[in-house]
Amino acid sequence: MTAKILVTPRTFGKTDPVPMRMLSEAGCEVVVNPYGRQLSEDELVELIADVDGVIAGLDPYTRRVMEHGSKLKVISRYGVGVNNVDLDYATARGIMVTNTPGANSSAVAELTIALLMAASRHVCTSDRAIRQGMWKQYHGSQVRGKTIGIIGTGQIGKETAELALGLRMNVLCNDIVPDREWAAKVGAEYVDLSELVSKSDYVSLHVPYSEGTRHMLSTRELAMMKPSAILVNTARGGIVDEAALYEALVKGTIAGAALDVFEVEPPVGSPLLELDNVVLTSHIGAHTQEAVQNMGRMAVANLLAGLKGGKPANLVNVEVDPELTTAAV
């Protein structure tokens, strides 16, 4: 098999040589992101012209980009979310889109709990104070016996729930497709969204971004939360209305927030950066050595399966007809 592959994620192959070796052994010519950062639409248009497949980060795979990829057969997401890919156009063109579900579930779930703890115990505020020469002992809250509301019970949501249960927390869940068998087994409870946000001490988001989930939490939902509640978002920034969140944090509608994702990344100029009751990280949920290894190997396996004419194990647009594009390489 001879194929030209564009690799855009910065961490791909950095700590694990296996994914690059898999591509080499398959006879692929690899083009690595020359910019060392997330690509713009114009940059992708320039790079995608003669490639057969892409190991894709969060770069924008718009219709315009794919129109310039006349040989493109597979977009293999190095991660789970595919909101940066125009799935409708990819499907119409016969381009297979895959992802790596489960590869980073533990990493994101662990960061969720870490952010929850950091916000609850004022870890970052205390750190900043000490560095500024102040010795102030902040009073936080224990998580044992508190209630966490998990919105979205895919693999990451479930792992987060199970970690919380291990901390002796109570777990409420909400999902458009409830897994009641799992909930009964672990001791979680499904409730409607209004009940979840009003009863939870911590609300944690684990749903994919779509038009249906955009601003899923806005002024109305934030107003229903406890004044002592903390919002944690390790999913996608657009799920939360950041303007409404800022107002809620300033007015004391809720006590705090912990965010790994933002509506615009990086969040340059966001007023959220000015607040002490917000813990911020730079979309690092999937950035552990273990998750990067899992994602890299799975992404390459998906890519090669598609290029060889098979059906990848983690095909997102399952209705795609690869015959609409050129034959397998």
Q: Catalytic residue positions?
A: 236, 265, 283
Distance, CA of 75 to CA of 6 (rounded, Å): 10
Q: Please classify residue 264 by burial: count the beta carbons closer than 10 Å to its beta carbon, then call 0-12 exposed, 13-18 middle and 19+ buried.
A: exposed
Name the one residue in this structure whose structure tokens are 């709990």: 113
Report the 10 Å Cβ neighbour count for 25: 9
Report the 10 Å Cβ neighbour count for 289: 12
Distance, CA of 78 to CA of 99 (rounded, Å): 6
Name the one residue in this structure whose structure tokens are 């892409």: 54
Residues 6+ apart with CB under 8 A from 142: 120
Name the one residue in this structure whose structure tokens are 């992708």: 44
Distance, CA of 202 to CA of 321 (rounded, Å): 43
Distance, CA of 101 to CA of 76 (rounded, Å): 12
Which H or E element spans position 110? helix 105-120
Q: Where are the beta strands (DSSP E) in the chain?
A: 3-7, 28-32, 53-56, 74-77, 96-98, 147-151, 170-174, 189-190, 202-205, 230-233, 256-259, 278-280
